[in-house]
Structure 1
Amino acid sequence: MGIFGALQSAVSGLKAQSHAMENISGNIANSQTIGYKRIDTSFVDMIPDAPVKQQIAGAVSSYSRSMNTLRGDIQNAETETYMALNGNGFFVTEKADGSGGTFYTRRGDFDIDRNGYLVNGAGYRLTGLDMENGVVTGSVAQAVKIDNAFLPAKRSTTINYQLNLPQTPKTATYVSTTPGSELLKPWSYSGDVQGSPVAPKITGTPVAPTTIPAYGYGNIVTGSALASTLVGFGNTLDVNINGVPTTFTFDTTGLGGATDVDATGTVADMLADMQAQLQAVAGQGTAKVGIKDGRVFVQLAQGNTDPMSFTGTPAGLLGLSSVTSAVTTGNVTAANMPADLMGIHGQQLEITVGGVTRKYMLDATGTLTAGSGIVKVDATGTLKEMLDVIQADLRAYGGPGASGATAAWDPTGGLVVDFPGNYRSDVNIAGPAATTLGIAQSVAASTGTLSTVSAANSELFVKESISGGGITVYSQTGEPVNVQIRWAKVSDEAGIATWSMFYASDSAPGATNAWTKLADYTFDEGVLSGVAGGSGVTVSGTERLAISNLTVNGRSFGSLTMDHGLKGMTQFADNSGMASTTKFTQDGYGAGEFISVGVSDEGQVIASYTNGETRAVAQIITASFSNPNALKRGDGGTYTATTESGEPIINQSGEGIVGSSTEASNTDISEEFTKLIVTQQAYSANTKIVTAADEMLKQALSMIR
Structure 2
Amino acid sequence: MDVFTALQTAVSGLKAQSFSLENISGNIANSQTTGFKRVDTNFVDLIAEQETPSRQVAGTVAANSRQTTTVQGSLNATNIGTNMALNGDGFFVVQSKTGDTNGQTTFSTGDSYTRRGDFALDKDGYLVNGAGSYLKGTSLDPITGQATGEGPIKISNSILPARPTSTITYSANLPKTPATTNASASVAGSELLGTLASGANPAILSGTGTATVSAADAASFVNGSIAGPSLTAYSASGGPVSIQTRWAKVQNADATATPATSDVWNLFYADKSAVTSTATSWTNAGTAFQFNGSGQLTSPTATAVTIPALTVDGVNLGNIQLNYGSGGLTAYTSSGGTVTTNTLTQDGYTSGTLNNLSITTDGKVSGTYSNGNTLSLANVKVVQFNNSDGLKANSNGTYAQTLESGTPLVGLNGTTVVGGNVEQSNTDIASEFSKMIVTQQAYSANTKVISTSQDMMSALINIIR
TM-score range (shorter-chain normalised) is 0.7 to 0.9
Of the candidates 482, 500, 523, which is equivalent to residue 291 of structure 2? Answer: 523
Report the alpha carbon displacement of residue 549 of structure 1 after superposing the two structures with TM: 0.8
Q: 1:461: Cα distance to partner?
A: 3.4
Q: CA deviation at 1:690?
A: 2.1
1:521 Cα offset (Å): 1.9
Match of 1:124 in 2: 133
Equivalent runs, 1:454-473 vs 2, <5 Å: 454-473=214-233
Query: Does residue 1:574 correspond to 2:356, yes or no?
Result: no
Contact 1:96 1:119 in 2 (8 A): no
**Cα distance, 1:693–1:544 mapped onto 2, change above 3 Å:** same
Structure 1 residues 24 and 178: CA distance shift in structure 2, 3 A: farther
Distance 2:127 2:30 in 1: 23
* 2:102 alignment counterpart: none
> What does residue 230 of structure 1 align with?
none
Between the aligned partners of 1:119 and 1:665, the Cα distance in structure 2 is 19
1:12 to 2:5 alignment: no
Q: What is the one-letter code of the residue matched to 2:9?
A: S
CA 1:115–1:185: 2 relative to 1, 3 Å: closer
Describe the superposition over 1:111-148 as per-residue Cα deviations: whole angstroms up to 9, x where unpaired.
1111100001111000112323223343xx31100011
The two structures, once aligned, show a CA RMSD in angstroms of 2.6
* Residue 183 (str. 1) matches residue 184 (str. 2): no
CA drift of 1:88 comes to 2.3
**C-alpha contact 1:127 1:143 (8 A) present in aligned 2:** yes
Deviations 1:587-640 (A, max 9, x none): 211111111222222222222211122332222222222322121111111011
The 5 A counterparts of 1:284-299 are none
Tell me by how many angstroms 1:491 deviates: 3.1
In the TM superposition, residue 173 of structure 1 has moved relative to its aligned partner by 4.8
Give 1:136's aligned residue.
Answer: 147
Matched AA of 1:505: D
Match of 1:194 in 2: 201
Q: Report the CA distance between 1:511 and its aligned residue.
A: 7.2
CA 700–623 in structure 1, closer or farther in 2 if over 3 Å, else same: same
Residue 667 of structure 1 aligns to a residue in which SS? coil
Offset at 1:481?
A: 0.5
> Which 10-residue stretch deviates more, 158-167 or 37-46?
158-167
Residues 38 and 67 in structure 1, CA contact (< 8 A), matched pair in contact too: yes
Q: Decide whether aligned partners of structure 1 residues 581 and 509 sit closer, same or farther in structure 2, where only a CA change above 3 A counts.
A: closer
**Structure 2 counterpart of 1:524, one-letter code:** N
TM-score, normalising length: structure 1 = 0.59
Deviation at residue 643 of structure 1 after TM alignment:
2.6
Distance 1:73 1:183 in 2: 66
**Which of 106, 111, 121 lines up with 1:102 in the alignment?**
111
Structure 1 equivalent of residue 410 of structure 2: 650
Unaligned runs of 5+ in 2: 99-105, 203-208, 256-261
Amino acid at match of 1:152: P
Q: Distance in 1 between matches of 2:374 and 2:38?
A: 38
Contact 1:619–1:654 (Cα < 8 Å) also in 2: no
- Do the aligned partners of 1:597 and 1:606 also contact (CA within 8 Å) in 2? yes
- Contact 1:621–1:653 at 8 Å: present in 2 too? no
How far did 1:492 drift? 2.4
Distance change in 2, residues 1:54/1:612 (3 Å): same
Q: Distance in 2 between matches of 1:182 and 1:677?
A: 95
Q: Do the aligned residues in 1 keep the contact of 2:218 with 2:279 (CA within 8 Å)?
A: no
Residue pair 2:6, 2:453 contacting (<8 A) in 1 also? yes
Question: Whole-Å Cα distance in 1 between the matches of residues 74 and 335 of structure 2?
Answer: 53
Q: Distance in 1 between matches of 2:458 and 2:310?
A: 108
Where 1:50 maps in the other structure, the secondary structure is coil
* 1:192–1:454 contact (8 Å) kept in structure 2: no
**Distance between the aligned counterparts of 2:352 and 2:190, measured in 1?**
44
Asked if the contact 2:189–2:252 (Cα under 8 Å) also holds between the matched residues in 1, the reply is no
The 5-angstrom pairing of residues 141-180 of structure 1 reads 141-174=150-183, 177-180=185-188
CA contact (8 A) 2:30 2:36 kept: yes
Is the CA contact (8 Å cut-off) linking 2:219 and 2:278 kept in structure 1? no
Change (3 A) 1:514 1:702: same
Distance 2:369 2:440 in 1: 58
Map 1:613-628 to 2 at 5 A. Answer: 613-628=373-388
Change (3 A) 1:550 1:653: farther
Identical positions, percent: 42
Gapped runs of 5+ residues in structure 1?
196-448, 532-540
Is 1:501 the counterpart of 2:267? The answer is yes
Structure 2 vs 1, CA of residues 170 and 190 (structure 1 numbering), >3 Å: closer, same or farther? closer
Q: CA deviation at 1:179?
A: 4.5
Structure 1 residue 582: Cα displacement = 1.9
Instruction: Report SS of the residue matched to 1:166.
Output: coil
Q: Distance in 1 between matches of 2:113 and 2:138?
A: 16
Kept in 1: contact 2:9–2:60 (CA 8 A):
yes
Residue in structure 2 matched with residue 587 of structure 1 by the alignment: 347
Q: Which moved more, 1:104-113 or 1:566-575?
A: 566-575
**Alpha-carbon distance, 1:162 to partner:** 1.4
CA distance in 1, matches of 2:80, 2:215: 53
Contact 1:192 1:453 (C-alpha < 8 Å) held by counterparts: no
1:377-388 → structure 2 map (5 Å cutoff): none
* Partners of 1:184 and 1:464 within 8 A in 2: yes
Report the counterpart of residue 439 of structure 2 in structure 1: 679
Partner residue of 1:485? 245
Question: Residue in 2 aligned with 1:206?
Answer: none
Per-residue deviation at 1:508?
Answer: 7.2
Aligned residues: 440
Residue 454 of structure 1 contacts residue 511 of structure 1 at CA under 8 Å; is this kept in 2? no
1:668 is matched with: 428
The Cα shift of 1:191 comes to 2.6
Q: Which residue is 1:309 aligned to?
A: none
Cα 1:179–1:15 shift into 2, 3 Å: farther
Deviations 1:136-195 (CA, angstroms, capped at 9, x unpaired): 343xx31100011011111111112211112222344545x43547613433x3236239
Give the corresponding residue for 2:259. none
Q: In structure 2, what is the equivalent of residue 296 of structure 1? A: none
Instruction: Determine whether 1:558 maps to 2:318.
Output: yes
Q: Aligned letter for 1:89?
A: G
CA spacing shift, 1:167–1:620, aligned 2, 3 Å: same
Which residue of 2 is the match for residue 375 of structure 1? Answer: none
Letter of the aligned partner of 2:263 in structure 1? A
In 1, Cα distance between equivalents of 2:107 and 2:305: 56
TM-aligned CA distance change 1:462 to 1:76, over 3 Å: farther
Distance change >3 Å, CA 78–CA 179, structure 1 → 2: farther
Residue 39 of structure 1 corresponds to which residue in structure 2?
39
Shift of 1:498: 2.1
* Residues in 2 aligned to 1:499 and 1:643: alpha-carbon distance in whole angstroms: 70
Alignment of 1:427-442 (within 5 A): none
Q: For each residue in 1:442-464, what CA deviation from the matched residue of structure 2 results, as whole angstroms up to 9, or x when unmatched?
A: xxxxxxx9943344443443343
Q: Which amino acid aligns with 2:360?
A: S
On the 8 A contact 2:95/2:152 being kept in 1, the answer is yes
Aligned to 2:258: none
Could you say if the C-alpha distance between residues 597 and 658 of structure 1 is closer, same or farther in structure 2, counting changes exceeding 3 Å? same
Counterpart contact for 2:36–2:426, Cα < 8 Å: yes
Task: Give the match for residue 91 of structure 2.
Answer: 90
Q: Distance in 2 between matches of 1:192 and 1:89?
A: 73
**Contact 2:164/2:349, CA 8 A, preserved across alignment:** yes
Q: Distance in 2 between matches of 1:553 and 1:190?
A: 24
